[in-house]
Amino acid sequence: MSKLLQSINLQNTPNHIAIIMDGNGRWAKGKGMQRVFGHKNALTAVREAVAGASDVGTKYITLYAFSTENWNRPKLEVDALMSLLVNSLKKELPEFQKNGIKINSIGNIERLPQKARKVLAEVIDATQNNSTITLTFALSYGGREEIVNAIKNISKKVVNNELDIEKIDDKIINSHLYTFNLPDVDLMIRTSGEQRISNFLLWQMAYAELYFTEVLWPDFRKEHLYSAILDYQNRERRFGKTSEQIESNE
Ligand code: FPP
């Protein structure tokens, strides 16, 4: 077993890990290849991250696969990413089943090509009873758009007298987000050295620990995930309280 994995306290692992998988383009460029080559080589990293999270008992992993802003990339790259999504979902289904991986998606799924929507819906349906880990793909996802949507839907209920304005609280807002069935993020990892959250899970990351690594996404392996988790375990999560309160379990 890996030394890093042995050092992890399995009683205190993040329940929900979110990852911004960045650096595919730079990885490919460094090898004198087209950007799409980087995306194709990102799949091993996806498998490793999910398997590593599963190994330590993490129940939710959410990957930023395609942002609302990514629609502005050259059509060739957008098409390649959509094909990659369709082909990998189909190809990986037996592995999802074997490893108890439940597939979920968040984002403006209506904007995806019909083929991608269909395959995604099939894989979500086929894996709905798996319970080892929930793997959520953020697709055509934007944190602000998600919040705008939630506000619109809540407002409609208020206007229709289905909801009292005074009843609006964190819980109500949570239940109107794409992530209504997911817990808050505990640990957010971003690869490739960029230190931004880029419109990812804005509401859900309110108390997340942030971890940035220089590793480019296609090079990301289990060991890198374990390092991030060890770093997380050395932090004190106070949720606005004092250290003394946390120590005395108040
Ligand atoms: C960021 O690298 C990555 C993306 C915009 C796409 C993420 C997609 C994958 C990891 C492909 C596999 C995913 C699925 C769901 C099949 P970048 O292109 O922004 O890299 P750069 O910053 O170096 O240009």
| pLDDT, tens digit (0-9, with 9 covering 90-100), for 202-227 | 999 999 999 999 999 999 999 999 99
pLDDT at 1 exceeding the cut of 80? no
Q: How far is the CA of 143 from the centre of ligand 1 (A)?
A: 18
Is 85's C-beta closer than 6 angstroms to any atom of ligand 1? yes
| pLDDT, tens digit (0-9, with 9 covering 90-100), for 123-161 | 999 999 999 999 999 999 999 999 999 999 999 999 999
Q: Among 31, 64, 81, which residue has the most ligand 1 atoms within 8 Å of its CB, making it the best to mutate?
A: 81
The closest residue, in CA terms, to atom 7 on ligand 1 is 65
Q: Quick one: what percent of the chain has pLDDT higher than 70?
A: 100
The full DSSP string for 35-86 is HHHHHHTTHHHHHHHHHHHHHTT--EEEEEEEEGGGGGS-HHHHHHHHHHHH
Strands 209-212 and 16-20: unpaired
| pLDDT, tens digit (0-9, with 9 covering 90-100), for 73-84 | 999 999 999 999
**Contact 110/77 with Cβ under 8 angstroms?**
no
Summarize the confidence of residues 56-73 as an average pLDDT: 97
Q: Which residue has better confidence, 219 or 238?
A: 219
pTM for the model: 0.96
CA dihedral (144, 192, 43, 54) positive or negative? negative
**Contact 124/151 with Cβ under 8 angstroms?**
no
* Amino acid 18: pLDDT: 98
* Amino acid 2: pLDDT: 86
Is 197 marked as binding a ligand?
A: yes
Is 140 marked as binding a ligand?
A: no
d(CA 235, CA 164): 40
Is 198 marked as binding a ligand?
A: yes
pLDDT at 199 exceeding the cut of 70? yes
What's the pLDDT band for 243 if we cut at 50, 70, 90? confident
> So which residues are the catalytic ones?
22, 70
**Contact 232/209 with Cβ under 8 angstroms?**
yes
Is 25's C-beta closer than 6 angstroms to any atom of ligand 1? yes
